[in-house]
Every structure is written in C-alpha cells, then in structure tokens.
Amino acid sequence: MFAIQIKERKKPVRKLLKAHNAASKTAYRETAMHFHKHMTPDRFTYQHGREAGYEPRKGDTAPYGSKEYWRSYAGRKKKTKGHRDPLVWEGVSRAQARRAQVTSTSKQARLRYRIRAFTWHPKYKVEFVKILPRELIKLGRVFDAMYNKAFAAEKRKT
C-alpha cells in the first residue's frame, strides 16, 4: 500500500465542486491502475532493484562465478531458479502482485496487494513500495491527463 499526495492548485468554484470531486476520484483511480499495470511488474526486476536502492542480497557483491558467489543466496538462486530478480524466489510474490484492490475517493487512491511472501520479511515490503522520482513525475502526468479528461466530461453533464 502506498500514498501519493498531489497538491491542488486552488479551490474550485463552489458551482463546479461536484464535478471536481468526481473528476478527482476518477483520476486517482486511473492513476492507481496505471501504477498497477505498468509499474508494478518493474518492482521485480534487477535493474529497478538497483535504481531503488534495494539492500544487496548475500552474494551480490561477490565476483560472479567465484566459489563465494555460488555458495551465497544470489548464486543458489541463479543456479536453481535461473534468475537474480529481487523479491522473487519461485515467483509466488510476482504472481500475487498481479492481483490488486483499488479504492479511490476525491482525496486519494489506495492500491492494496495481498502478497503473503512479504509478511515474514519487513524489508521486502519497504522495498516493494519504494517509488522512484521518475515514477512520481510519470504518475503526476497521468493524474493531470485523467483529471482534465474526467473534468471536461463532468462539466458537460452539468
């Protein structure tokens, strides 16, 4: 679960408050869905782990191919599972992250994941919800675009 705060420019005119609230709710929901569809799968890539500053696992700092590497967590995972993706051992957490529950109001959207694999290690949950600055900028643009589209549609209704 994560929260993105978007500061509003100024209060809407009272006459358009209902349209503003409906457009905000739609924009928040669509922004959360965009995050879920396009940004959640990146959480399980090695590249995103490095960019987001995930804590190095044992063996990540050892030279590749050395005896120390192959005896470490990273080496065993590479040998048995064929990958070095963070937050994944057999793929259960990645599969559970494909399902999410989105709730939104005119003030926020909430995206809930039920990833049981993260309950036994608290640092995994912290790493999973870390949002990069470039992702925040992208989500802000998505929110603006969705808000403008929804607001125009709501204004036409009234």
Measured between alpha carbons, how far is 147 from 96 in angstroms, rounded to an integer?
A: 30
Cβ–Cβ < 8 Å for 144, 66: no
Q: What is the pTM of this model?
A: 0.84
Provide the pLDDT for residue 4. 55
Q: What percent of the chain has pLDDT over 90?
A: 42
Decide: residue 116, CB within 10 A, 0-12 exposed, 13-18 middle, 19+ buried: exposed
Cβ–Cβ < 8 Å for 6, 82: no
Q: How far is CA 60 from the centre of its chain?
A: 24
Whether residue 9 has pLDDT greater than 80: no
pLDDT category of residue 3 using cuts at 50, 70 and 90: low
Provide the pLDDT for residue 120. 73
For the chain, the maximum distance between any two Cα atoms, rounded to a whole number of angstroms, is: 71
Q: What does the pLDDT look like over 80-138, one tens digit per residue? A: 998 888 888 888 888 999 999 999 998 889 999 888 888 777 788 888 888 999 999 99
Measured between alpha carbons, how far is 25 from 27 in angstroms, rounded to an integer?
A: 6
For the chain, what is the mean pLDDT? 87
Measured between alpha carbons, how far is 100 from 113 in angstroms, rounded to an integer?
A: 5
Provide the pLDDT for residue 65. 87
What distances in angstroms separate CA 141 from CA 15, 32, 109, 145, 146, one per listed residue? Answer: 26, 13, 16, 6, 9
Pairwise pLDDT comparison (150 vs 59), residue with the higher score = 150
pLDDT category of residue 7 using cuts at 50, 70 and 90: low
Whether residue 18 has pLDDT greater than 80: yes
Q: What percent of the chain has pLDDT over 70?
A: 94
